[in-house]
Structure 1
Amino acid sequence: MAQTHSIHEEESHGSIGSYLTGFVLAVVLTAASFWVVLHGGFSRETALIGLAVLAVVQILVHLVYFLHLNTSSGQRWNVMAFAFTVLTLAIVVIGTLWVMHNVTMNMMSR
């Protein structure tokens, strides 16, 4: 008789504790972002850097706790697809900024 294997054998789904930890971290990071903006005591550059750092940390929290992205062998293709997406997005964004900067420099009178 042929053995049947489930497609989801190697998937690890989070526990209630894992989801609660991710939720609490996400709420704390969101509250910290609001506090940075509403506090008003920071310079513009400091606030932007703080918000960028909090945003990156929140992305990582969502990837780890809610999307279960990790470095296990079962997640290798997911990590590679995510890395390709990030690389493509970086190329598009940086290329757009570069083109727009060159257009501005060449079209504006100095």
Structure 2
Amino acid sequence: MSAGNHAHGHDHGDHGHGDHAHGHDGAPHGSMRDYVIGFVLSVILTAIPFALVMTNAFADHRVTAGLCMAFALVQIIVHMIYFLHMNTRSENGWTLMALLFTVVIVAICLSGSLWVMYHMNLNMMPGSGAMAGM
């Protein structure tokens, strides 16, 4: 092999080593400011439920659990906006459409499973002979 023969397959064409345009094609990327805002919001949205649980702020634990779930939902939205850059402009809205489709399918699966389990429990015969003999 000669020193000028590059048989290792790094064909850069007319691009130099300094050209690192990895095919992003104008997709929205967050700035350092956006990442810092997302991080601060995530820390706040984690610290508030932690404080609610650790200080027993509410006598009814169901209220605390509901508030923690609400903060978790808001934190999911913060992550999708600030870290995953999901909005209506990215990829002409297809990422948002894929998210909505996923949410609908998960909701159908969860509600269907709960419905089936509820009706199976409701329709079970109490004290059936098969279970009494065990």
Give the match for residue 36 of structure 1: 52
TM-score with structure 2 setting the length: 0.71
2-structure distance, mates of 1:73, 1:29: 26
Larger radius of gyration: 2
Per-residue deviation, 1:75: 4.3
Partner AA of 2:115 in structure 1: W
2-structure distance, mates of 1:108, 1:54: 41
2-structure distance, mates of 1:88, 1:46: 28
Structure 2 unaligned residues grouped into runs of 5+: 1-21, 127-134
Higher RCO by CA contacts (8 Å cutoff, separation 6 or greater): 1
Identity %: 43
The structure with the greater share of residues assigned to helix is 1
Contact 1:69 1:75 survives alignment (8 Å): no
1:41 aligned counterpart, secondary structure? coil
2-structure distance, mates of 1:75, 1:46: 40
RMSD, aligned α-carbons: 1.9
TM-score with structure 1 setting the length: 0.86
Partner AA of 2:105 in structure 1: T
- Asked if 1:62 corresponds to 2:45, the answer is no
- Asked if 1:50 corresponds to 2:67, the answer is yes
Contact 1:10 1:74 survives alignment (8 Å): no
Could you say if the C-alpha distance between residues 48 and 79 of structure 1 is closer, same or farther in structure 2, counting changes exceeding 3 Å?
Answer: same
Contact 1:33 1:54 survives alignment (8 Å): yes
Per-residue deviation, 1:10: 2.7
Task: Kindly tell me the number of residue pairs found equivalent between the two proteins.
Answer: 105
Could you say if the C-alpha distance between residues 85 and 41 of structure 1 is closer, same or farther in structure 2, counting changes exceeding 3 Å?
Answer: same
